[in-house]
A and B are shown apart, each in its own frame.
Chain A
């Protein structure tokens, strides 16, 4: 047995006639929403009026729900006792998008008995549990995490504490700590998002929580530079190593490698290890960028060695440019 409730004249609420076009309804809604928005309006009953206008618009903006509402009859007046007509079917879906107030607690019994059970559709992509009258999925949340380059190579499980500000009953802000644990997949790139299902804002009315998206940033590394999946290491060599070539072991995030410096190498030369950057499809490359480190001027015999070197290159000018006489 259902209790009678008060009929609501949504056209009167919107200040339009029953024959108003959809455009007129939208214009009336915009105007009233601005007038009564609780963050703007100084009217004493602004919030209640705002909710009434929102409820009326929810029904009238959608031609199907408007047609169903119109079927209730034109002779009813606001405040009149009213029963849901027998055979009232949930044959249409209120789109629910657009007008902001998705909170069912703001709607009247009248609205809920007519339109509530088919539930305005979720803003997000998650389907609502159909049995619940008003369950709303929680919103997705977003945060950023900084990971080590080594974690991007090998993957890792990490734990961190997020501080989420919340308002208490008096409207004061307090910080709640949420500990989250997440898996960094190998091959993750800066800017990529890791999704933690169900770790977003809690749902209402038994709705599922939203998801938490963690946007990955790579911590600046003391040695390596990262561009996309390519990784760069500035590698200083002695002048004679560059000139004569050599081999030595160097570190990379994937482990040490035996590197061959070809004879005649110059500063700025890039030596590539294909596929040894951040893993992925395709994997990035690893680059050594050669720099020439000069030994400092030293004792007399070392200075003599430099002078001897200079005498071996009488025509060498470091400032010569191709096609130009020094």
Chain B
């Protein structure tokens, strides 16, 4: 069974990673997470967002990055990934 239909609130994401909700909100404000919904109470997160929050948390803790640094790292990783896909190795 896929978890693709699951939607979570800010508090639920923060419970999953044992983070204060304010910290997850900062991830949203830095662009690390991009939930649907305009107001904080209406934010809805997908399982993909939940995984992304875990990556962000590990990057913060393991590499001493702040959230702006995490956002930059994730963005560069995305760009790197799309470059890799456009230029497969050996071409």
Contact = CB atoms under 8 A, between A and B. Distances in A.
Interface of A: 30, 33-34, 37, 39-40, 50, 54, 99-101, 138-144, 162-166, 172-175, 200-201, 210, 215
A36 B73 CA distance: 14
Interface in B28-87: 47, 50, 55, 58-59, 61-64, 73, 77
Contact of A172 (B1, B11, B15, B63): B1
A142 B12 contact: no
Contacts of A37: 58-59, 62-63
10 contacts: A40-B59, A100-B58, A101-B62, A142-B19, A163-B15, A165-B12, A165-B16, A165-B50, A174-B3, A200-B18
Interface of B: 1-3, 6, 8, 11-16, 18-21, 47, 50, 55, 58-59, 61-64, 73, 77
B12 A34 contact: no
Q: Dominant SS at the A interface? A: mixed
A37 B59 CA distance: 8
Given A39-B59, A165-B8, A173-B50, A143 B18 contact: no
Nearest to A212: B15
B21 A173 contact: no
B2 to A, nearest CB: 7
A213 to B, nearest CB: 8
A143 B63 contact: no
Given A34-B63, A40-B73, A172-B1, A143 B58 contact: no
A99 B13 CA distance: 23
Contacts of B47: 165, 172-173
Contacts of B1: 172
B29 to A, nearest CB: 17
Given A37-B59, A39-B55, A173-B6, A141 B18 contact: yes
Contact of B15 (A39, A141, A174): A141
A172 B62 contact: no
Contact of B12 (A40, A163, A201): A163
A165 B9 CA distance: 10
